[in-house]
Amino acid sequence: MNPVAIGIALLVAVALAMALGVALGWAASRIEPDADSLVERIDALLPQTQCGQCLYPGCRPYAAAIASGEADIDRCPPGGDSTLRALAALLDRAPRPLDPAFGAPKPAQVAWIVEERCIGCALCLPACPVDAIVGASRQMHTVIAAQCTGCELCLPPCPVDCIELRAAPATSLRHHQPRAA
């Protein structure tokens, strides 16, 4: 193997690596918008109940809608006043009361499955936005209280109305406790 061939081989490998690097750098700067960091920061303030009361499919889509100016910040009842004030501070807007059209704030709650009535139909599993319900077809279901956000989305699909909402235990990890105003 002569030195020229080695040189060409090196050149090709280095040129390919550099071309890929430039292409990736360009793609990263084009595809990833700067607004993404604002969406992340708004999302971090939202309660992550994924309840959809704001009429967006979850907290992150709502954050994206706030960032793009499509939705206002007064649509999040689970977050309550504290979230609203935090959002107003982040976005430098005047605080305002929650829009009652999207529901009223409630005390922290978690879903509870009444086992005598549950028939193991598994209909509530896909409804849960945080996968807090454990169960399978014809098996008893249960709710992982620490994961449940109390969003109530599992209530409508249940054919036997065996899901109740109870006050959230103090150990609840996920639950955003609305602080007193």
Residues 6+ apart with CB under 8 A from 158: 123, 124
Q: Token digits for 106? A: 């409630």
* CB distance 113 to 134 below 8 Å: no
- For other proteins, the binding residues in 37-66 under the rule CB under 8 A are 60
Q: Token digits for 146? A: 């620490």
Interface region with other proteins, contact rule CB under 8 A, candidates 29-37, 70-78, 89-97, 153-161: 29-37
Binding flags for other proteins, 1-20, as an x/- string (CB under 8 A): ----x--xx--xx--xx--x
Of 35, 37, 89, 139, the one binding other proteins by CB under 8 A? 139
Burial class (CB in 10 A: 0-12, 13-18, 19+), 30: exposed
Is residue 140 within the footprint of other proteins (CB under 8 A)? no
Minimum CB distance to other proteins smaller for 84 or for 151: 151
Tokens 């107003």 identify what position?
Answer: 88
* CB distance 69 to 39 below 8 Å: no
Minimum CB distance to other proteins smaller for 16 or for 55: 16
Q: Residues interacting with other proteins, by CB under 8 A? A: 5, 8-9, 12-13, 16-17, 20, 23-24, 27-28, 31-33, 36, 60, 136, 139
